[in-house]
Structure 1
């Protein structure tokens, strides 16, 4: 779960960082790396933090297996002393599992987030993700029970949702969550049934105007220009990006395309943290998709080892 050196640093209080709610007190919208299955792991979080990301989320973790299995904990949650501020996102379908999982990660994170928006059929069939949109009382119970386990008032309990077809339902759910003590809410501007339709930023603006807690806008934050437009349209306190950061981890630092220095940083971080070859390659494919000609990206995708990938990058004078 966490390295011995980092464990010592946490215990001895050797590191300081802004807590999530302190970030939201600033004038500028908080720049956030979204929870992404397979992708928003420690190494990638380390990279994007070097390039303007203020707050990072782990990939979604299934709370019940996390609580019951040490193996699952070691596999699903890896962090180190520089990985802060950090939000751990859980999929949960009951309050006890979420509260138990919260208690486990609390010493190593700054908050937990409940995934109430995943539209995948398996998640909804098991009572996770967007299934929770129809059960605001369960969300309320999850927030209350998780909060009761943590004495640190700066530790956040947040939710990430999608929109209902009727915006009044979304406003009602968010108000109930706010009343239960949720710290902030991230809103993906699509309904669970929508995939490529344009996000409804006006709906996010309406929810934002109905709440006192911070609201984060998510959906199509692919470039710095898009981020500025979403902030203007929604009035959001934070901007969350997924695919935009995959394609350009330096986006929030003002780069229009992935700069070579960012690629070099990814190689260094991956080698130092022992990133598996497949993950190393997939991230590079995203980063270089708009930088290299397609034939060269295809060659990159066919390489079978980290060393072969690095040799290819050297041949292209990227390293």
Structure 2
């Protein structure tokens, strides 16, 4: 799917909400991205990929990025601190994705010390140069999203978004926290609302979206074009479809995808654990799942407790509630005893 298709998706959402699954270290891999697409998420990010490693190391390329025909409307997020690495990265990857996202928001100290992520919020001229250089070579053949955080002085953020917009970014995603604000502190929707009138390209709000109700409230208050969820969609990939907890069909679909396309076991285990916790399955089962040492153990455990349909079975990935196998459901649904 070329970038024009991503633009078509954005255009088709005028008057509604663009939904975005945000980049998550380790967890925005191919099986999870396809799962989000199954629940009609409009745009889906990869984890951040370090440009310098990607362009220099073949092993890093294969471990950081895989794709197939089911992987749609994908923006690859890049961590970069210079034009040379960025252009080599764009040259290599742009035929395989629909968009490229410049990470100006990651607050991890190691990345910031390398001049990557949130460090770029102090380098508006560099970010503008990244965008201008890529656009001068590829024009509309590439789609660029600039993902930012806010400054303590929002006047600095206003100047930043003006510069990257003038440089040619196609979209701006705003995480309504500074690089030092903890995720436990509520996202600053007032800041996003203030910034919105200065931006003419589509704007995505990021932060504290855990339900469809959250999504609607964020758009109504800030007047943005769309909403990105990361922690929320990690626990419930169907949240933008209006499910307040993970539907059982998501578990069946993910188990099929991860065994078909492959993930490191610990990552697959974490995904399933997140889904079950969100479904309010008791800690007894979740603990046993987290104690599994390999995929075979996890599959056997799931089959012991639940009816897990395979892709060749009728009604695969359609169930809302889990079906317990030869057990009393009440025994394994979370109770105050387990809290």
TM-score normalized with structure 1 length: 0.92
SS at the partner of 2:115? coil
Q: Distance in 2 between matches of 1:188 and 1:244?
A: 14
Determine the structure 2 residue equivalent to 1:187: 174
Determine the structure 1 residue equivalent to 2:148: 161
Q: Distance in 1 between matches of 2:17 and 2:73?
A: 16
Which deviates further from its counterpart, 267-276 or 17-26? Answer: 17-26
SS at the partner of 2:180? coil
**Cα 1:93–1:44 shift into 2, 3 Å:** same
- Map 1:262-281; keep pairs closer than 5 Å: 262-281=250-269
Q: Distance in 2 between matches of 1:214 and 1:174?
A: 12
Question: What's the offset of the Cα at 1:149?
Answer: 3.0
Q: Distance in 2 between matches of 1:317 and 1:128?
A: 44
Q: Which of 22, 31, 37 in structure 1 is aligned with 2:8?
A: 22
Question: What's the offset of the Cα at 1:147?
Answer: 1.6
Determine the structure 2 residue equivalent to 1:287: 275
Determine the structure 2 residue equivalent to 1:316: 305
**Cα 1:95–1:18 shift into 2, 3 Å:** closer
Instruction: Indicate conservation of the 8 Å contact 2:24/2:46, yes or no.
Output: yes
Q: Higher Cα Rg: structure 1 or 2?
A: 2
The answer on 1:90 being equivalent to 2:78 is yes
Determine the structure 2 residue equivalent to 1:76: 64
Q: Which of 100, 115, 127 in structure 1 is aligned with 2:88?
A: 100
C-alpha RMSD of the superposition? 1.4
**Cα 1:98–1:52 shift into 2, 3 Å:** same
Q: Deviations over 1:69-123 (max 9, x none)?
A: 2221111111112212111110000112111101111111111111001111111
Determine the structure 1 residue equivalent to 2:163: 176
Q: Distance in 2 between matches of 1:74 and 1:99?
A: 19
- Structure 1 residue runs of 5 or longer lacking an equivalent are 1-14
The answer on 1:303 being equivalent to 2:289 is no
**Cα 1:250–1:29 shift into 2, 3 Å:** same
Q: Distance in 2 between matches of 1:189 and 1:122?
A: 21
Which deviates further from its counterpart, 306-315 or 257-266? Answer: 306-315
Q: Distance in 2 between matches of 1:17 and 1:110?
A: 4
Question: What's the offset of the Cα at 1:16?
Answer: 7.9
Question: What's the offset of the Cα at 1:57?
Answer: 0.8
Instruction: Indicate conservation of the 8 Å contact 1:110/1:154, yes or no.
Output: no
- Structure 2 residue runs of 5 or longer lacking an equivalent are 309-339
SS at the partner of 1:32? strand
Instruction: Indicate conservation of the 8 Å contact 2:81/2:115, yes or no.
Output: yes
Instruction: Indicate conservation of the 8 Å contact 1:103/1:149, yes or no.
Output: no
Q: Distance in 1 between matches of 2:105 and 2:163?
A: 17
TM-score normalized with structure 2 length: 0.87
Q: Distance in 1 between matches of 2:62 and 2:2?
A: 25
Question: What's the offset of the Cα at 1:154?
Answer: 4.8
Q: Distance in 2 between matches of 1:102 and 1:16?
A: 14
Question: What's the offset of the Cα at 1:313?
Answer: 1.3
